[in-house]
Amino acid sequence: MVAVAVVNQKGGVGKTTVVLGLASAASARGTQVLVVDLDPQGNATTGLGVFEPGPGVDEVLAVESPGGLAAIVEDSAWPVDVGPPPRLAASSPSLAVREPQLATDPLGAQDRLAMAMRGGMITNEGSVQEADLPLVLIDCPPSLGLLTVNALFAADSVLLVTEPGAWAVDGVGRMIQTIERIRMRRSNGLPEEMGIAVNRLGRTRDGRYWDQQLRAAYPDRCLPPVHLRAAVSEAAAQSLPIHGLGRRPGVAEASAEFDALLDRILPSVAETNISHDRSA
Ligand SMILES: Nc1ncnc2c1ncn2[C@@H]1O[C@H](COP(=O)(O)OP(=O)(O)OP(=O)(O)O)[C@@H](O)[C@H]1O
Ligand SMILES: [Mg+2]
C-alpha cells in the first residue's frame, strides 16, 4: 500500500480533479483505490457521489487513533461497471474547525493521520485488506496548514498539481521547500517527490508560456500534462468517473491523460515499496 498526497497551497489548480482522474484510471484498470478527503470543502467526497457521508476523517483526527482510519472507510457511489469503485475516507465541514484545535496539542498533532493509517489499514467488515489496496490518494486543502501537514506526514510520496499560470513556478517552489522540511522531520526519508502534474493546460499562448516556464524551472520533475477539457469538469459535476462518461467529446483524450499520469505514478509506487522494505 502506498499513500500519495496530492498538494498545492494554491486553490483551484485541480488537486481534487487529479485525485478523481487518477482514481478513475485506477478503477478502470481494476485497481482498488482509497481516497482520503482531507479538505473541509469535501469536493472529492461529492465527486465520488457521496453526499451524506458517515463518520469521516474529522472523527479520526479528533483524537490519537492508531489504525483508526479503517473504521470510517466507506464505499463510494461510482458505478461498478467501470471497475472496482474507490473506497472513501470522507470529509466533513467540521474538518475546518478541527485544524485550529490540532494546533493547540502541546505534543504536536502533525502525525495523527499517519497514526490512523498505520497498522493493517482496512480490516473492518466488508473492507479490503491492506495487500489489496495498492494506492491511497490524499486530497489536500489549498493551504499549508495542519491538515496538509498531516497528509505529508502520512504520505509515502507527494504529487504536486499546478496550473500553467502566473506565479505557478513560485508556488511550486514554496511547496517543494515545505516537502523538504517535512522530510527532515521524518526518519525514513519520506515523502518522496513524485513530480509535478501540470493541469488545465489550454491552447492559449499564455498557458503554453507558463507551461514552458515550469518545465524550464523543473525539467526533471514535470509529469505528462492534463489539458483543459469540458469533459473533465462534467465528470466531477456529475459525480462520475471520467472513464465512465461514454463517447462524449474529450472523454477518451482526458481518460488517456489520467492513464498516462497513473503510469508514471505506479512505477514510482513500486520503488517506494522497495525503499520502505529497506528502511524496515
Ligand atoms: N483539466 C481540467 N479541465 C477542465 N476543468 C478542470 C480541469 N481541472 C480542473 N477543472 C475545474 O477547475 C475547477 C477547480 O478544480 P479543482 O476543484 O479540482 O481544484 P482544487 O485545486 O482541488 O481546488 P481547491 O484548492 O479549492 O481544493 C473545478 O471546477 C474543476 O472542474
Ligand atoms: Mg480540491
Q: Position of cell 502525525?
A: 111
* Nearest of 93, 91, 84 to residue 54 by alpha carbon: 91
pLDDT tens per residue across all 280 residues of the chain = 889 999 999 999 999 999 999 999 999 999 999 999 999 999 999 999 999 999 999 999 999 999 999 999 999 999 999 999 999 999 999 999 999 999 999 999 999 999 999 865 444 443 445 556 789 999 999 999 999 999 999 999 999 999 998 888 889 999 999 999 999 999 899 999 999 999 999 989 999 999 999 999 999 999 999 999 999 999 999 999 999 999 999 999 999 999 999 999 876 544 444 444 444 3
Architecture of domain 2-279: 3-Layer(aba) Sandwich (3.40)
CA distance 115 to 105: 15
Other C-beta atoms lying within 10 Å of the C-beta of residue 249: 10
User: Could you state, in order of their start, the residue ranges of all structural domains in the chain?
Assistant: 2-279
Which residue lies with its CA nearest to atom 31 of ligand 1? 233
Q: Is 15 in the pocket of ligand 1 (CB under 6 A)?
A: yes
Residue 59 DSSP SS3: helix
Q: Is 17 in the pocket of ligand 1 (CB under 6 A)?
A: yes
pLDDT at 134: 87
Is residue 127 within 8 Å of residue 87, measured between CB atoms?
Answer: yes
Q: Could you tell me which residues come within 8 angstroms of residue 58 by beta carbon, excluding any fewer than 6 positions away?
A: 91, 92, 94, 95, 98
232 alpha carbon to ligand 1 midpoint, in Å? 9
Instruction: State the pTM of this model.
Output: 0.93
